Amino acid sequence: MVRAFALPPLENMVQWHERDLANSANERIVLPHAILLTDDLLGKLTEVFAGLRVDPVRMAEEIDRSGGGAMTENLMLALTARGLARADAHELLRRLTRRPQDGPSLAERARADAEVARYVGPAEIDGLLDPARYVAAAAEKTDRVVARLERELDR
């Protein structure tokens, strides 16, 4: 909703020089509504994040249940960095992840795939799809974002 409030003022930017009250009428309506809605959203988000709890055991279970599907981003980036077109890498990973969940893991399927082997070796596949490394990278990114936000808020 808040994003939608940006359109009316943008559509009224057609005049080059002078404006009258007719042009600013929508801004007098849109801005207060957008501010109130943003305040309400921030209040609700604060409540949600204040009560957010992370269950590491459950997270590990979900990652295991995905059979490696949760870590496809690393493999996608490696394939495209080595020259495979992004659309082709996406289709390749889609094909590899559409297999039954009770079968081989994504790492096993990727190691057995001839097209993947042209770009990424078996040991690298294991590293790219290692849940511990993937989750550690997410934690590091989160720590960097939080530190940056704290610096910005302390100014």
Helices in 51-71 by DSSP H: which ranges?
56-65
Distance CA 8, CA 30 (A): 8
Cα 98 to Cα 106: distance, rounded to the nearest angstrom: 10
12-47: pLDDT as tens digits: 777 666 767 777 778 888 889 999 999 999 999 999
Say if residues 63 and 131 touch (Cβ distance below 8 Å): yes
Q: Which homologous superfamily is 59-133 in?
A: Fumarase/aspartase (C-terminal domain) (1.10.40.30)
Residue 72 neighbours by CB distance under 10 Å: 21
| Exposed / middle / buried, residue 4 (Cβ in 10 Å: 0-12, 13-18, 19+) | exposed
Which sequence spans correspond to the domains of the chain? 3-50, 59-133
pLDDT tens profile 48-74? 999 999 898 998 888 888 888 888 999
pTM reported for the whole predicted model: 0.60
